[in-house]
Amino acid sequence: MSYPAIVGFIMMLVIIWILIKQKTSTIFAFTVIPIIAAVILGKGPQDIGNYLTKGFAMTIPVSLIMLFSLPYFMLMADTGLFNGIVRRILKRISLTPIVLTVLTLIVSIIVGFDVSITSIYLIAIPLFLPFYKRLKMDPMILMFISTLGVIDTFDVPWSARMLRSASLLHGVNNGTMVIFQKMLPAQALFTVILFVIAIWLGIKEQKKLKKEYGESFIKEATGKGNIDDIKDDPELGRPNLFWTNVVLTLLVIAALCFLTAVPTYYVFALGLVIALAINYPDLKQQNKVLKKYAASLFPVMPAILLSGVVVGVMQFSGMMKAMVQTLVAIIPASMGPWVYIIVAIFAVPLMFLFTNDTWYYVLLPIVISLMNEYHVSPIVVIATLFFNMGAMLTPIAQPQIYLGIDLTHGAVTFDRYAKYAFLPIWGLSIVLLVLGLLTGSFR
pLDDT digits (tens, 9 = 90+) for 385-409: 999 999 999 888 888 898 899 889 8
Q: How far is the C-alpha of 357 from the C-alpha of 4, rounded, in Å?
A: 19
Q: Does residue 126 lie within any of the structural domains? A: yes
Q: How far is the C-alpha of 151 from the C-alpha of 425, rounded, in Å?
A: 10
- Nearest by Cα to 433 from 391, 393, 384: 384
Number of domains in the chain: 1
Q: How far is the C-alpha of 360 from the C-alpha of 385, rounded, in Å?
A: 9
Question: What is the DSSP-derived secondary structure letter of residue 354?
Answer: -
24-48 as b/e: b if 16+ CB within 10 A:
eebbebbbebbbebbeebebeeeeb
How high is the pLDDT of residue 222? 61
How high is the pLDDT of residue 114? 67
Q: Does residue 131 lie within any of the structural domains? A: yes
- Asked if 264 and 116 touch (Cβ cutoff 8 Å), the reply is yes
- Asked if 407 and 139 touch (Cβ cutoff 8 Å), the reply is no
User: Residue 308 CB: number of other CB atoms within 10 A?
Assistant: 25
Q: How far is the C-alpha of 417 from the C-alpha of 398, rounded, in Å?
A: 14
Q: Does residue 281 lie within any of the structural domains? A: yes
Sign of the four-CA dihedral 133, 411, 269, 65? negative
Q: Residue 21: phi, psi to the nearest 5?
A: -85, -10
What are the C-alpha distances in Å from 439 to residues 53, 386, 432, 434? Answer: 44, 16, 10, 9
Long-range contacts of 262-266 (CB under 8 A, 24+ apart): 263/61, 263/64, 264/61, 264/65, 264/69, 264/116, 264/118, 265/61, 265/64, 265/65, 265/67, 265/68, 265/69
How high is the pLDDT of residue 196? 97
Q: Does residue 81 lie within any of the structural domains? A: yes
Q: Does residue 405 lie within any of the structural domains? A: no
- List the Cα angle 11/14/16 in 5-degree steps: 110
- Asked if 146 and 387 touch (Cβ cutoff 8 Å), the reply is no
Domain that holds residue 262: 61-153+214-300
How high is the pLDDT of residue 302? 85
Q: How far is the C-alpha of 276 from the C-alpha of 75, rounded, in Å?
A: 8
Taking the mean position of all CA atoms in its chain, how far away is CA 18?
21
In the three-class reduction of DSSP (H, G, I as helix; E, B as strand; rest coil), residue 162 is classed as helix
Q: Does residue 147 lie within any of the structural domains? A: yes
- Nearest by Cα to 307 from 7, 34, 36: 34
Q: How far is the C-alpha of 348 from the C-alpha of 370, rounded, in Å?
A: 21
Q: Residue 137: phi, psi to the nearest 5?
A: -90, 150
What's at 212, amino acid-wise? E
Percentage of residues of the chain with pLDDT beyond 70: 96
Taking the mean position of all CA atoms in its chain, how far away is CA 84?
27
How high is the pLDDT of residue 41? 94
Q: Does residue 209 lie within any of the structural domains? A: no
What are the C-alpha distances in Å from 204 to residues 98, 125, 137, 207? Answer: 9, 20, 10, 5
Global pTM reads 0.77
Helices 378-385 + 414-439 axis angle, to 10: 150
Q: How many Å from the N-terminal Cα to the C-terminal Cα in the chain?
A: 31
How high is the pLDDT of residue 62? 76
What's at 193, amino acid-wise? I
Q: Does residue 79 lie within any of the structural domains? A: yes
pLDDT < 70 regions, the chain: 114-115, 216-230
